[in-house]
């Protein structure tokens, strides 16, 4: 995710502001139900071309889905390890 990977060295941010940004990013991830580790595989949605496809978790499984859900219902199965 852009905000999580934001390099603070390029911009002179004090520690207090860095902490606020980190806290905000964590709140957004919790609200969206996103694990920051899943963003390493994120890519543009082939269906709507404006959303981001990333790993999502449901109560039954893990799958790749568009960030624009419910406007875009594009999903992909997660490859099974085998």
For the entire predicted model, the pTM comes to 0.53
| Domain co-membership, 61 together with 74 | yes
Same domain, 4 and 14: yes
pLDDT number for residue 67: 87
pLDDT tens track for 45-72: 999 998 888 888 888 888 889 989 999 9
Residues 28 and 40 in one domain: no
- What is the average pLDDT across 10-37? 75
Longest dimension (CA), the chain: 47
Dihedral angle, C-alpha 40, 45, 51, 55, nearest 10 °: -40
- Contact status, residue 1 vs residue 21, Cβ threshold 8 Å: no
* 43 and 82 inside one domain: yes
Q: Which domain holds residue 3?
A: 1-32
Domains in the chain, number = 2
């Amino acid at each position: 995710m852009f905000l999580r990977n934001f390099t603070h060295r390029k911009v002179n941010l004090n520690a207090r502001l860095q902490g606020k940004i980190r806290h905000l990013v964590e709140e957004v991830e919790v609200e969206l139900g996103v694990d920051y580790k899943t963003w390493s595989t994120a890519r543009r949605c082939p269906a709507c071309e404006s959303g981001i496809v990333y790993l999502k978790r449901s109560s039954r499984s893990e799958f790749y889905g568009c960030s624009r859900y419910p406007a875009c219902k594009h999903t992909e199965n997660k490859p099974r390890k085998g």
